[in-house]
Copies of this chain bind each other. A is one copy, B any other.
Amino acid sequence: MEKMSATAGKPAGNENEAALATPFVKCLTRLIRAHDAYGWQDGASDAELLANFIITEEQRREIPIIGDPDPDVMLRLNIFYTAVGLTIEARTGLVASPTIMISHEGFGRVLLTTGRLVVFSKTVRDVHRFGFAKLRKLAEAGSKLVDDAIAAIEAYPEVARA
């Protein structure tokens, strides 16, 4: 059994390392540390800082979607899209700012804009359950948003600078 879990754990470990090395996740962890004004998590590793972003399918089902979304989950949603914006800025030099409108029922809209260009727009629901099944999924989701946004900026460069 021990041997089995050791070999099973290896690819996951490499996978997590690769995820933590992406520019998006690096930016996200920097942002989480910046929000940690009292230094409560100074000793935490990057993976530990991101632990709250990881929600397994089982955990997800257990989170009720009635009532207001938890303020902590709203903060995570905010930090996630701010990290997307900052990574876009690092790569293009253009400020991409998130505008997030979430109703009391956890339903709403997320927009990322650069100049007059909407680089990302999404209707979100069940915000209560915001999270990713794995660190790799988190890295992929954020990196894909960054890539799509940069493709939009390249398609409409003058609007992004208007």
Contact = CB atoms under 8 A, between A and B. Distances in A.
A100 B109 CA distance: 10
A32 interface: no
Interface residues of A, number: 15
A41 interface: no
A156 B115 CA distance: 13
A77 to B, nearest CB: 12
A101 interface: yes
Contact of A99 (B101, B117, B159): B101
Nearest to A155: B162
A160 B118 CA distance: 10
A113 interface: yes
